[in-house]
A and B are shown apart, each in its own frame.
Chain A
Amino acid sequence: MPVTPTRRSVLAAAVATGAGLLTGCSSANSGSSSPKKGGTLSAAFPGAGVKETMDPHAQRQFVDIARHKAVFDKLVELDSTLRPVPRLARSWSSDDEARVWRFELREARFHDGHVLDADDVLYSLSRILDPDAADHLAKNSLSHVDLANCRKVGRRGVEIALTRPNAELPSQLAMTGTPVVRDGWDDPSKPVGTGPFRFASFTAGLGFTGRRFDDHWNGAPHLDEVRILSAESEARAAAVRSGEVHFAHEMTPTFARTVAHDGRVRVVATKRSGVQGFALKTDRAPFDDPDAALAVKLLVDRKRLVDVVCAGRAEIGNDLYGKGYTYYPDGLEQREQDVAGARRLLRRTGLYNKKVTFYTSTAADGFAQAAHLFTEQAGEAGLKVEVVNGPPESYFTDALSKGTVTNHRCGAMTIPTYIGERLLSDAPQNQTAWKHEDFDDDFTAARAEVDDEKRTARYRSVQTTLRDRGGLVLWGHPEWLNAVSRTAHGVKEAPPNTVDWARFDTVWLD
């Protein structure tokens, strides 16, 4: 079946290809030198126009999160394996039930001179959980914080009480929408944080400028100034190649191929930075029968999907989220394409030669392409697929309720967060409509387990259940591609939303 490219993909490919033809070849420069002080770094991220905000609790887009990361800090961040690492919180511990947590704060200074204290943390939590703030994203994942019983312990100790046990609280405090703000602060037009850059200016849809904060608790940044700009993919590609920006976020495999021999730019590729897959609705026929879902898992040709949709820049998935992350259940046999086995299961479940609807859209690169490839592969096994295109602007919200099969993708987050937000009966983004009380109980028990080994074993069991009986067909773990100019150094490979991602305080220019 033909695959229709989008206007944007055509333009991006054309920029990359045209530019490739017109520029000379030279060897790639991975770049390393001893850090130098000074300079202004410009970084381009996909923009979101007037939606962009400097309210760190209303984070929506990567461009927002990158800007907030420059100005604010979190108590905790995640390392590249999605394990919590200290930031404003120097250390933490919990009671035996993981119901009361104590965080010790480090001595950090806000840009206005105020020294971080427990009141700032308690205020930040109450602001995040403001019931009237519909756009505060972390309020769901932190809804079990018992604000009334949270308290300060001395000047730098904070006790966070929970309404239910949760061994994952530190990780959840590292997710998007959780930066610490100054006690009483509520003016996004004048952001004041403890981050490595002071706020200088911001225009939604255009750019942000931050200036070096010399009193940052982790040491002053190398740069004098950082500019975080908004730009669509074609503009990012051209701007980073022409040297107008030093860093371009979220580039395509086509771009990476084009600049492979361009000495002016190098691509920093972070492996396993999320997941791509298909979501089968398990609350309705035919995928309320786990065997029907298993048939789909067997019929897909994961390698071909990776090769075509991700241009080969992905690791093959095993219907499990978070390959390489903490709690990923290693050692499970890789699921391979088994058309004969799939056909047997389709016959047994009465699905052979029947039709299902695939609700897709151009909401993300490769979605429509993946849907059409799936249609071909399903056809080989005897499952007919009708592809229906939906509007990209609201696709992810629509896909929560529409379609029998839908596209699924997810960026980097901890495995418990992924399950908690997508696979519990009351999860806000339960795209597979996976609603099983016993599963919820197993997951809740795992999350409450304070012993690391036991918790890991319980999570393994939960994930195995999902892999065998759930509605997620996770076929690939794509690389995350950023472009860096040869004059910029210190940019590390890091999955989005982790501590070294979009981190410009440790970057320097020639």
Chain B
Amino acid sequence: MLLAGCASPPDPKDEAAVQSYREANDPLEPINRYFFEVNRFLDIVALRPAAEFYRELVPAPVRSGARNVVRNLGEPLTAINSFLQGDHARAGDDLARFAINSTLGIGGIMDVAADPKFLGVERKDEDFGQTLGVYKIDEGLYLMLPILGPRPPRDLIGFAVDSFIEPVQYAFPNELRTGFGLSRAAVSGIDLRERNIETLDDIERNALDFYATIRSLYRQRRNAEIANGKVSPSLLAPEIRSGATASAVTAGLQDDLRLEKASAPRR
């Protein structure tokens, strides 16, 4: 089932199929689906159990402190990317947040900088993939990688660049750097998974095609992050175009209500 179908481009004469294939922008779909299943397996045997242990063993305030520490360590990289995106004021805010939270926030355990009494600036997360996106670089074809998850070329390059320019790691001597990076990734990964146990369960339970749903969610989420919530959501929305459609909606509603009443006694 995994490798069946959708490997080859559709019949060029079938317009709906061609456009839908192009929109999905996922020519490697069979391989991507395979790695998606690999990741699901890894999730079931390792990540999710770890996240559940984490939830059960570690009290919520401690989890929130650990999350804040890891997020605080990310502020210098966010500052670099804010700067590269041309938002110099925001880059300054990011650095100010880092300074305040590292000191008054006790190594970042508390996000005091978000408090209006101190700086009153909420955290924002920027990465090099988003920076490329700000300069209108397309994400490219969809890629699902083992362990790393969805990383289309733009975000894969972004990930590589971020790993290299990330400044905090260079505060550590060579021999400790990898260990620091890995433990940091482990904490943020398990924390992220813990916060999304119910959400992911829900998406999986209700999806007809879990893979395609995740693909769409990933892309929309990235676009929203790149836009930083400044633009309204995608212009695409179901439209009630003509009076005819509007009355069809109303007629449909009437039908539904009639059906509802008719079937009510049987329930």
Q: Check if A and B associate.
A: no
Interface residues of A (CB under 8 A from B): none
